[in-house]
Structure 1
């Protein structure tokens, strides 16, 4: 497998103002930033150590696309949306637990992704601003039930107060899932290739009889 194929591309999508950039920066650097350009699209390259329980540590090489303020499904044009979806191997759909509309918005985004990724997509539904429970509009159970119903991963985090390990978990789990899918797909393709070679040999043998 090539080094390029080992890289996991993750796009963070969600309505503006819910902490996409803050989440990425916290994940890759451990810092929380208060001031940043909310409309600046950027790709972060990051290597993350995954200390699996009972096994050796692995390193996930990833590229994380911060789509900043562009990814409301209402505002985003179809070409831009398809570009994001085609580029990514996995998706973090970020909403704020203090904003019910943002939760409804990421549901629309998930539907668009699933429609485009016919073979299935690795998606994490992530509720941000978990430190603001007194302002909560989206119940924890609602986020988890929605994710479970649609085969997605589910998390609640706080980019401001969580330790780096907590905010990094969605990325680690998505990398694990994508790599597992690639492994299964590789086995399937090898089996198909082997079967094709066998069929060609049988046909050639029959033609020479």
Structure 2
């Protein structure tokens, strides 16, 4: 574990646990974003051999300790879509494309259609929020996807936020993308608890159950 990583020594029960899955076409920089967020370091090349176990680290978000579990998925082809088990496991989705790769942007559109179908089949429990990230923002000279296109897609997909970032050059901006998603996961949980309380007390608001992540033993294995 990097000496730069601050480990929070608290009882596990006092932590907010957030399970995040990173989705995107091959080569968009999901692993680089993950490592930059967790260690503040940048590593440009990765040798992937399929999906790895989730990274588990305790970090501070808004002065509160959070146990992050980050699952860095590795699609073998631009046509491969995540399994239902992976979607069920997550509390939130970080959707990543490269601004230098038009096909990776198209992949996010196909991915969103896949997620939407999963939500329809799973029902009210499938409420994992999403953040859209356009990576490789330092490579403007190779841009194939405009910033406005990212904004429009994020709005169409009802993502809570959209950012263009550079895993190779930025630390704060990358961290904020993950933190945005963490905050929204916790917001969903608070709203779900309030909805449940309203239902129990005879409130008029409908019950909207938030799907908590499963235990480590339930990690998706395809």
TM-score, normalising length: structure 1:
0.81
Contact 2:16 2:65 in 1 (8 A): no
Aligned to 1:199: none
Q: Which has the higher helix share?
A: 1
Aligned to 1:7: 17
Mapped to 1, the partners of 2:77 and 2:86 lie a distance apart of: 10
Q: CA deviation at 1:4?
A: 9.2
Mapped to 2, the partners of 1:21 and 1:109 lie a distance apart of: 18
Seen in structure 2, the aligned counterparts of structure 1 residues 166 and 15 have a Cα distance that, compared at 3 Å, is same
- CA-to-partner distance for each residue in 1:34-58, whole Å, 9 max, x for gaps? 332233422111223223xxxxx22
- CA-to-partner distance for each residue in 1:167-205, whole Å, 9 max, x for gaps? 111110111111111111011112223349xxxxxxxxx
Gaps of 5+ in 1: 52-56, 197-209
Mapped to 2, the partners of 1:8 and 1:170 lie a distance apart of: 14
Aligned to 1:82: 84
- CA-to-partner distance for each residue in 1:50-71, whole Å, 9 max, x for gaps? 23xxxxx223221110012347
Gaps of 5+ in 2: 1-11, 204-222
Q: CA RMSD in A?
A: 2.1
Which entry has the higher C-alpha Rg, 1 or 2? Answer: 1
Of residues 186, 191, 194, the one that matches 2:193 is 186
Aligned to 2:74: 68
2:57 counterpart of 1:46? yes
Counterpart of 1:125 in 2: which secondary structure? strand
- CA-to-partner distance for each residue in 1:68-123, whole Å, 9 max, x for gaps? 23474x234xxx51111001011011100000110010111112112213433311
Contact 1:13 1:71 in 2 (8 A): no
Residue correspondence of structure 1 range 5-154 to structure 2 within 5 A: 6-42=16-52, 43-51=54-62, 57-70=63-76, 72=78, 74-76=79-81, 81-117=83-119, 118-119=123-124, 120-152=127-159, 153-154=161-162
TM-score, normalising length: structure 2:
0.76
More moved, 3-12 vs 25-34:
3-12
Seen in structure 2, the aligned counterparts of structure 1 residues 84 and 187 have a Cα distance that, compared at 3 Å, is same
Mapped to 1, the partners of 2:111 and 2:32 lie a distance apart of: 20
Of residues 165, 179, 182, the one that matches 1:175 is 182
Mapped to 2, the partners of 1:149 and 1:68 lie a distance apart of: 25
